[in-house]
Structure 1
């Protein structure tokens, strides 16, 4: 495959993910089927299936694209907030707060955590990208496989049931967020 073909392929996949994202906003994550996504993207079903083997692969690809963007934003915010402080707890609190802010400012993601979307829980549980990012913020020399899962659950909890304001969320995180060992 030439570089031009690879670039076109990437653009086609992005266009499909953009169309899926717009449908998720309009109809919820559980709503649109593959036919509807193909129509919205302006491609055939065969083209859609060339890029995404099934609906689950499409949903995971969309979530991973958003997660990569959010991860970059969180890394930048965390670097600024903790540049002078080496306290691991503060680093994790700042990362969680930055993650919440990044997700909330992406209004097209509201359908992922509004109501009872089990897909978000599934993606958080199964995504090596998201789990790896959480684990990197919690790295302390010792591995604790449950800690990343717990922090992701805390993030999901704040998304589905926000605190009364940002300070209330910060206070709860500073008080109750588990400390990396």
Structure 2
């Protein structure tokens, strides 16, 4: 699947340069150095390219976040640090933060709301009583919305975001008051 990865890499560059909504299939094929027929062999639509890119990056970020929080025992702290790590990962990558520009944030929200991959990663950031996922699908969707919101409309600084997460997100999601 080297061709598919090359296509996704080319699409990522275009998303960052032109915006997600403004990037078409012909643009992606040209940037990837392939024909449109080859592009359509791997991805049947522009939405399929977007979704494949987002899923690839979500898996990568999910793995990075999991490594960062695996040794944190407190569920509330684990949740807060997991969200903060995810925010830092996206913000530090120009190919990803491009998805949260005003003109493209709607597409990002749409993908985030319908993606089982993103939902699963969101769900991995919290545990309920005795390590069981509590209302995992609903909680994961809520956590995803919080992350997308903070990427679209950030706090004043990282400290304010941490305070909001500690006060308004961690207690209801973990059932532990801080």
| The two structures share one fold, judged by TM-score above 0.5 | yes
Rounded to whole Å, the distance in 2 between the matches of 1:51 and 1:62 is 12
Would the aligned equivalents of 1:88 and 1:179 in 2 still touch at CA under 8 Å? no
**Matched length:** 168
TM-score between both structures, scaled by the size of structure 1: 0.88
Rounded to whole Å, the distance in 2 between the matches of 1:33 and 1:40 is 11
Give matches, 1:5-154, under 5 Å. 10-80=1-71, 82=72, 86-116=73-103, 117-140=105-128, 141=132, 142-154=134-146
The structure 1 segments of at least 4 consecutive aligned residues displaced by more than 3 Å after TM superposition are: none
Q: What residue ranges of structure 1 are gaps of 5+ in the alignment?
A: 1-9
RMSD: 1.3
TM-score between both structures, scaled by the size of structure 2: 0.89
Would the aligned equivalents of 1:95 and 1:137 in 2 still touch at CA under 8 Å? yes
Residue 180 of structure 1, CA deviation: 2.7
Q: Residue 166 of structure 2 corresponds to which residue in structure 1?
A: 174
The residue matched to 1:43 in structure 2 has which SS?
A: coil
Q: What residue ranges of structure 2 are gaps of 5+ in the alignment?
A: none
Moved more, 136-145 or 119-128: 136-145
